[in-house]
Structure 1
Amino acid sequence: MSRPAAIWFAGEPDRKPRLSRERITTAAVALLDAEGVQGLSMRRLAARLSAGTMSLYEYVGSKEDVLDLAVDAAIGEIDIGAIDGLPWREALHCQLTRSRDVMRRHPWLPVLMATRPLLGPHALERSELVYSVLHQAGLVGPRLSAAVSALTYYVQGYTAAENVWRTSRRDPAAEAELRRQTQQYLHRRKELHPTLAQHTDVGNNDFDASFRIGLETVLDGIETQISTG
């Protein structure tokens, strides 16, 4: 019998030896946090669990299954409480800010979320929340799907870029100097690129404020779609 296309289509193994999918998932998340996607292998995961590599295959079919489980476990850390009853914009702003916080805690998460089927129970629960909030606000059909996609890709893309920048620029003084030199470089080319030279805020390193402004801009566009029916 061929293995299911996604681990979510298969049940938990009947046998209950000392390992479990839960233990494997917890260890996988820890390994991803420590070494990133490139550092996760079945051999390293087995070593972290003090188990044989082949024993993992009693619970998962491949490394891809492990990644799916780890992604859903991390998504499960996104709090979904205290959303009911809030106005739709406030509810989404709160929920997506929480999502960014978890993606920053697990820098590997936003990239994997963009490349895998998010069919785990935690992912589906959070997708249902966002869809239902926008549906209740008045969106249906393609506009509803497009609005969810716009919000999802904004949060994932912004946080993925932020994570890379924070990882590569650990010296605040060096970062400030790079920003200063970049601003000067644009200023010297203001005749060629006048808008960039005048309006690009290269010196701004407030990721939180920039994220909020960007999210509000996307929500403004969605509100226009709702108000025009």
Structure 2
Amino acid sequence: MSAIWFGEQPPERKPRLSRERITEAAVAVLDADGPEGLSMRRLAARLDAGVMSLYAYVSGKEDVLDLAVDAAVARIATDGLDGLSWREAVRHYLSRSRTVMLRHPWLPALMATRPLLGPHALARSELVYALLHRAGLDGPRLTVAVGALTAYAQGFTAAENMWRGRVGRAGPGGEAELRRAAQEYLAVRHEAYPTLAAHADLGNDDFDTSFGLGLDTILDGIAAQLPGPPSR
């Protein structure tokens, strides 16, 4: 599969147009309307440029999406992790990742479906791989551990974004009512779904705590595979 990262940087042709400006405009369009709202024509209009002039910098929409993803990933801060245990460093990094993916709701799906070969994405992949490798993982277990953490963070945040987008239109009261109705629906069907009725907390709207608990569960599993005494 080809990717924009395999090619050379294009020369600057006009002071007002560059790959960086195209990327910035693409992120803005994606934030406003998602991937379905992004087109070369829409991008050119935002930049006050001709559509064909964009092709001096990118080959099409696919390149633009790759650039936008890498630009958004660059906003995941990596500072302040030195000196932390591998577990705390990973936890901080994935929490920051979730914050950026909440800010850019289109990002989780694109990160899961595009080649993450841009410099910012590769630097962050290197960070997570290095943290887990130094902790004692290697080979397939290292790859699978990174994949599990990545899939959890992206999947959780994608679902959170969808939920927030849907119930946000109804307001806080509407969300509370929907959660209450769902809990009652299970309660009256407790004979068919006894475990769900007793233990599914559908009224819980604390995404921050839920994300942390789920992440700790995965980290516990990773720690159990490390050589030596259990590490936290």
RMSD of aligned residue pairs (Cα, Å): 1.2
Contact kept? 2:12, 2:18, Cα under 8 Å:
no
What is the deviation of 1:177?
0.7
CA offsets 1:25-49 (integer angstroms, 9 cap, x no match): 0000011111111110000000000
* Distance in 2 (alpha carbons) for counterparts of 1:181 and 1:163: 21
Structure 2 residue 135 is the aligned partner of structure 1 residue 137: yes
Structure 2 residue 199 is the aligned partner of structure 1 residue 199: yes
* Distance in 2 (alpha carbons) for counterparts of 1:107 and 1:198: 33
For 1:85, the aligned partner's letter is G
Alignment gaps of 5+ in structure 2: none
* Distance in 1 (alpha carbons) for counterparts of 2:216 and 2:125: 20
* Distance in 1 (alpha carbons) for counterparts of 2:147 and 2:10: 35
CA offsets 1:166-189 (integer angstroms, 9 cap, x no match): 011111111111111111110111
| Structure 1 SS opposite 2:225 | helix
Aligned to 2:219: 219
For 2:118, the aligned partner's letter is G
Aligned to 1:43: 41
* Distance in 2 (alpha carbons) for counterparts of 1:85 and 1:209: 25
What is the deviation of 1:227?
4.1
What is the deviation of 1:15?
4.1
Aligned to 1:107: 105
Aligned to 1:208: 208
Alignment gaps of 5+ in structure 1: none
For 1:5, the aligned partner's letter is S
- Write out aligned runs for 1:4-153 (5 A): 5-18=2-15, 19-153=17-151
Calculate the TM-score normalised by the size of structure 2: 0.95
What is the deviation of 1:82?
1.0
Shift >2 Å, 4+ stretches: none
Give aligned-pair identity as a percent.
Answer: 65
For structure 1, which segment, 61-70 or 4-13, has the greater mean C-alpha deviation from structure 2 after superposition? 4-13
| Structure 2 SS opposite 1:204 | coil
What is the deviation of 1:5?
1.1
For 1:10, the aligned partner's letter is G
For 1:132, the aligned partner's letter is A
| Structure 2 SS opposite 1:83 | coil
* Residues 184, 227 of structure 1: alpha-carbon distance in 2 compared, 3 angstrom cutoff: farther
For structure 1, which segment, 44-53 or 13-22, has the greater mean C-alpha deviation from structure 2 after superposition? 13-22
What is the deviation of 1:88?
0.6
Calculate the TM-score normalised by the size of structure 1: 0.96
* Distance in 2 (alpha carbons) for counterparts of 1:228 and 1:154: 26
